[in-house]
């Protein structure tokens, strides 16, 4: 495996709320942490909101990120 040269600019964290056996023990949640502007988006809770958040935050946040140039 060849390691790609990449720079970490954000972390998307999703907690599915499952225990080791796969049983749901709490509602799923997600948050997004931008390394560039230090802003934390979320957390959001619940399957529907988490799915929506995960689908859009990686394009939504960069569009409004205060630390990025308009590239």
Q: Which residue has the tokens 């749901």?
A: 24
Neighbours of 28 (CB within 10 A): 19
CA dihedral 53, 55, 58, 60 (to 10 degrees): -70
Exactly one of 12, 14, 37, 51 binds Zn ion (CB under 5 A); that residue is 37
Size of the site for Zn ion (CB under 5 A): 4
Please identify, using beta-carbon distances, which residue of 36 and 54 lies nearer to Zn ion: 36
Exactly one of 12, 14, 36, 51 binds Zn ion (CB under 5 A); that residue is 36
Provide the minimum distance between the beta carbon of 32 and Zn ion in the complex, in angstroms, as a whole number. Answer: 9
CA–centroid distance for 1 within its chain: 25
Exactly one of 28, 29, 32, 34 binds Zn ion (CB under 5 A); that residue is 34
């Amino acid at each position: 495996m060849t390691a790609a040269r990449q720079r970490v600019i954000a972390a998307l964290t999703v907690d599915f709320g499952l225990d080791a056996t796969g049983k749901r023990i709490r509602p799923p949640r997600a948050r997004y942490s931008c390394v560039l502007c230090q802003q934390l988006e979320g957390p959001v809770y619940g399957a529907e909101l988490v799915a929506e958040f995960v689908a859009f935050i990686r394009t939504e946040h960069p569009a409004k990120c205060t630390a990025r140039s308009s590239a």
